[in-house]
Chains A and B, each alone.
Chain A
Amino acid sequence: MTLWVAVLAGCALAYLTKLAGHLVPAAKLEGRRMRRVTGLLPVALLTSLVVVQTFAASGGGLSVDARVFGLGAAVLALVLRAPFIVVVVVGAAVAAGLRALGWS
């Protein structure tokens, strides 16, 4: 599958998901449990993405490098209620700074 096909297929599915919500009558709202599951889905996926993005080694498996400190700085920024863009820049800057100093 070329990257373009994946991009467009992903976009199509994202749109169909949104449209489905508009077209399904509210009376057919799923059960309470299903709603809890779908509500928690982003938490599970985003948590996993944080772990993967922080620890995934290029050759497979997990490793620890400057990204861990970038993540730590980002969490600190969130605790201090920094806006999204500041959190991202702080995370990148700490990792880039450590690498510029020669640490992994």
Chain B
Amino acid sequence: MQPAAGEAGGAATGGLDARTRTAVLRQAWSVGIATGAYGISFGALGVASGLDVWQTCALSLLMFTGGSQFAFVGVIGAGGTGVAAIATATLLGVRNGLYGLQVSEFLHDRGWQRGVAAHLTIDESTAVGIAQPTVRASQVGFWQTGIAVFIFWNLFTLAGALLGNALGDPRRWGLDAAAAAAFVALLWPRLRSRDAAATAAAAVVLTVVVAPWAPAGIPVLVAALAAVAVGLLPPTPSPSPAPSPSFPPAEIDVARTTRRAFGSQRQSRGRATPMEPEERPNAEASADEEHPR
């Protein structure tokens, strides 16, 4: 498998046959729309947390990684300092660095395109990229998904921020509970392994113990120690054959998102030329499995 990987980089869709191009584009843009739509909840929560409309939009434009953005405004909204908000958001964004390692193996972009690709490196673009059967399809999948999410995420953030501004008292509309719901929805798909469950349990204990004594924002950082503790322990045998903790990204169920957005049709998934033989079953499992718990 040596397609013209270097020449046809970037977002262009050349080098793909018509059927593959249609499949990749449909998947990329349906994920983009589905993901972008919840930018509306981020926009509303941003202004409810005390940021203004422009600060909220700046986070979506420049930080552009949903989990970190929710965490940032969550810490600020709870009365935490800017430093605590930055630290929490940055720790949550560490996974994007790992995605970068993985997608740079098939992207081959150079110069400014690589700089843009880095900005678009998020859960969704990585998930769609690594789910494709060929290098060229992976490149197109990554770029198109990244661009689609970027467009819709920012449009819906602006809409949500303006809406949130118009609503007034956030508690009256349950926006504080909406933030908890958003975090639990981001957490939910990650709780598949025994390690993840143990980490979550330890994080609950640490937070409850620390919260009454520490300033806002600190309990979340202390809870990060739960990941260190569980991660450094010897691995427990996992009931599922795919114990690697959320990598490739298990949290974005691409196939399901696609089915949701576009009825029940399924993407055909060529397996003839796997890029990383030992990663492929994982990607398949995370994309196709229907709630093993």
Interface residues of A, Cβ cutoff 8 Å to B: 1-11, 13-15, 17-22, 24, 26, 29, 33-56, 58, 60-62, 66-67, 69-71, 73-75, 77-78, 81, 83-85, 87-97, 99-100
Contact = CB atoms under 8 A, between A and B. Distances in A.
Given A39-B244, A75-B184, A97-B174, 11 more contacts: A10-B86, A17-B90, A33-B232, A36-B195, A37-B231, A40-B195, A43-B227, A48-B222, A56-B216, A77-B181, A95-B176
Contacts of A38: 94-95, 98, 227, 231
B78 interface: yes
17 contacts: A9-B82, A10-B85, A18-B121, A19-B118, A22-B107, A24-B100, A34-B231, A37-B232, A38-B98, A38-B231, A39-B95, A40-B245, A44-B226, A47-B199, A47-B203, A49-B71, A97-B174
Contacts of B232: 33, 36-37
B196 interface: yes
Contacts of A44: 199-200, 202-203, 223-227
Nearest to B77: A53
A66 B59 CA distance: 29
Nearest to B186: A46
Contacts of B223: 44-45, 47-48
B250 to A, nearest CB: 10
Contact of A52 (B96, B181, B219, B226): B219
B256 to A, nearest CB: 8
Nearest to B67: A42
B255 interface: no
B185 A84 contact: yes
A93 B176 CA distance: 11
A19 to B, nearest CB: 4
Interface in B215-242: 216, 219-220, 222-228, 230-232, 235
A49 B74 contact: yes
A85 B36 CA distance: 10
Interface stretch (B4-12, B131-139, B205-213, B264-272): B205-213
A7 B54 CA distance: 10
Nearest to B105: A26
B163 interface: no
A26 B243 CA distance: 21
Contact of A78 (B76, B185, B227): B185
B171 interface: yes
